[in-house]
């Protein structure tokens, strides 16, 4: 007797279209994940009631929790489709799996959302190490193992959006930059070469939508799939912003 998985998907045909639900029943395979469920639905897009429909749209690229593009709300919790196993979900709810798009970004179609805001915010804080020139610049500055150890957890951020989805301060209508961008500011400001742009980054954190809009709910820490220490990052961000504020005051 084959085992089945019931998958309920919140669908939307396009930007600003109304949403609706469709339910599918697919054959259970050991070690299958949510992306496998969506692939199975694409192979045979027929609802539980036997009505032919379209395959569910979703984003995916790496299929190994590295790119963050498959982030969605699964059984009401934000996480990646590629690394969420059906076996684990059955322990949460043995009857069905619900899939919904993230709520903080425009829905392009079904489970695919437009996370451009996150990438614009990465530009806002200049989330890069400036290296200019095509010639051999020689070895970069030395970074102590202690600093490497401190910074590595921040470098794991994959801009998936889990921290923004879980944050009550981050809404569709405001400009809050979000925990990921604050943590990345700390990462790049702490790098000896990246520190060249430190003041530009801190200026962005001082603007409306910057660090002061954090309400310290700390959901960002709880939901991050990469265990980025966002709360520590925000605390360090506050320290850097305060020091910059005093520096600006006395250099007038």
What lies within 8 Å, CB to CB, of 15 at 6+ separation is: 106, 107, 108
Q: Per rule CB under 6 A, is residue 33 in the interface with ligand FES?
A: no
Closest CA to 164 of 244, 103, 249: 103
Q: Per rule CB under 6 A, is residue 60 in the interface with ligand FES?
A: yes
> The tokens 């437009």 sit on which residue?
114
> The tokens 């009550």 sit on which residue?
168
Query: Closer CB to ligand FES, residue 68 or residue 101?
Result: 68
Query: Closer CB to ligand FES, residue 38 or residue 197?
Result: 38
Query: Closer CB to ligand FES, residue 12 or residue 84?
Result: 84
Query: Contact region for ligand FES (CB under 6 A) — 60-68, 113-121, 143-151, 167-175?
Result: 60-68
Q: Per rule CB under 6 A, is residue 108 in the interface with ligand FES?
A: no
Query: Closer CB to ligand FES, residue 34 or residue 220?
Result: 34
CA dist 223 and 227 (Å) reads 8
Give buried/exposed letters for 103-132 (b at 16+ CB in 10 A, else e): ebbebebbbbbebebbeebbebbbbeeeee
**Are 72 and 101 in contact, with CB atoms under 8 Å apart?**
yes
Q: Per rule CB under 6 A, is residue 69 in the interface with ligand FES?
A: yes
Size of the site for ligand FES (CB under 6 A): 12
Q: Per rule CB under 6 A, is residue 85 in the interface with ligand FES?
A: no
Smallest gap from residue 239 Cβ to ligand FES (A): 32
Q: Which of 33, 80, 159, 230 binds ligand FES (CB under 6 A)?
A: 80
Instruction: List the helix and strand counts (H, then E) for the chain.
Output: 9, 7
Smallest gap from residue 79 Cβ to ligand FES (A): 10
**CA 241 → CA 77, 79, 207, distances in Å?**
32, 31, 11
Residues lying near ligand FES in the complex (CB under 6 A): 60-63, 65-70, 80, 82
């Amino acid at each position: 007797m084959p085992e089945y998985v019931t998958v309920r998907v919140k669908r939307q045909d396009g930007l600003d279209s109304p949403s609706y639900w469709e339910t599918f029943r697919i054959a259970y395979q050991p070690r299958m994940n949510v992306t496998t469920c969506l692939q199975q639905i694409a192979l045979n897009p027929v609802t539980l009631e036997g009505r032919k429909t379209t395959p569910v749209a979703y984003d995916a690229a790496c299929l190994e929790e590295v790119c963050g593009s498959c982030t969605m709300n699964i059984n009401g919790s934000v996480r990646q489709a590629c690394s969420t196993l059906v076996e684990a979900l059955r322990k949460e709810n043995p009857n069905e799996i619900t899939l919904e798009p993230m709520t903080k970004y425009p829905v392009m179609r079904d489970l695919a959302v437009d996370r451009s805001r996150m990438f614009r915010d990465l530009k806002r804080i200049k989330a890069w190490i400036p290296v200019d020139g095509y010639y051999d610049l020689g070895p970069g500055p030395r970074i102590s193992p202690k600093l490497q150890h401190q910074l590595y957890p921040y470098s794991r951020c994959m801009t998936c959006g889990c921290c923004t989805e879980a944050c009550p301060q981050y809404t569709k209508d405001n400009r809050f930059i979000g925990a990921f961008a604050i943590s990345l500011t700390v990462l790049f400001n702490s790098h000896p070469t990246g520190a060249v742009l430190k003041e530009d980054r801190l200026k962005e954190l001082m603007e409306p939508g910057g660090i002061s809009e954090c309400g310290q709910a700390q959901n960002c820490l709880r939901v991050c799939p990469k265990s980025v220490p966002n709360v520590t990052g925000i605390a360090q961000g506050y320290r850097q912003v305060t020091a910059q504020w005093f520096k600006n005051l006395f250099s007038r």
